Amino acid sequence: MATRVSAAARCIALLLLLALAGSSSAQLSTSFYSSSCPGLYGAVKSVVKSAIAREKRMGASILRLFFHDCFVQGCDASLLLDDTASFQGEKMAKPNNGSVRGFEVMDAIKSAVEKACPGVVSCADILAIAARDSVVILDCKLGAHTIGLARCTNFRAHIYNETNIDGAFARTRQSGCPSTSGTGDNNLAPLDLQTPTVFENNYYKNLVGKKGLLHSDQELFNGGATDAQVQSYVSSQSTFFTDFVTGMIKMGDITPLTGSNGEIRKNCRRIN
């Protein structure tokens, strides 16, 4: 019980409020909306909880939205923008098109937040809070690839052509992923075979057993410098929890728009 409570406490620390538009000091603060939008967290959590209840995979999808947004020009919710005749954004880029998802959930969250406090909360902050809530709702056991699914096109080469993979595991994955490119490309498989919708350290145990689904996953445990780190997470789930929270906070601090930079969009899909 103590481990579960402490993990939950660390998850709550993921209040990554990134934009702070309208703040002259332009400093990040987890209490920025305490007075301007006191109903913010309840509004976000209600929508996220309903979305995950309908489809547990959505928790991983929202977390992935946050990751993909932050690693391209910083945490600015630019990934949520639709393309227009005069604007080509990130949403339809090759790594994202047909892969990242959860945009309708973000629309619903934005709508709920706007009803609670119109024109106050940025889309970047909404996405960060939604990612935090996804982790908390999924029992707060942390790990980026411990949940979610991958497309056949992204792991085909690993299960057919590479040797650093358990044979039985490869055959299991081959049953749903034909060897021919263009056939079954969008077929899905869980990144963590045992517990695909729960945050915990089974993902790392799988790597030690050469059961990483993606090439990039198995490279974390393949005779290199990161082997020891993987082993430490296998031995201590609490170490994994702590390091993941630290990593999430650092990622959330990637060039956020503060002060008068950026805008609070009325609709996260387009600029005002």
User: pLDDT digit of tens for each residue in the chain (272 aa)?
Assistant: 334 433 433 343 333 333 333 333 345 677 889 999 999 999 999 999 999 999 988 988 999 899 899 988 889 999 999 999 998 889 988 878 878 999 999 999 999 999 999 999 999 999 999 998 988 887 644 344 456 788 899 999 999 999 999 999 999 999 999 999 999 999 999 888 776 667 778 889 999 999 999 998 899 999 999 999 999 999 998 898 888 888 888 888 887 777 777 889 999 999 98
Annotated binding-site residue numbers for heme b: 145
CA distance 71 to 215: 20
Residue 272 forms part of a structural domain: no
Residue 235 forms part of a structural domain: yes
pTM (2 decimals)? Answer: 0.72
Query: Is 138 found in the same domain as 6?
Result: yes
- Active site amino acids: 68
Domain count, the chain: 2
- The CA distances from residue 271 to 84, 258, 262, in Å, are 11, 17, 10
Query: Is 154 found in the same domain as 77?
Result: no
Host domain of residue 186: 149-245
CA distance 122 to 132: 16
Query: Is 170 found in the same domain as 129?
Result: no
Residue holding tokens 């992923």? 177
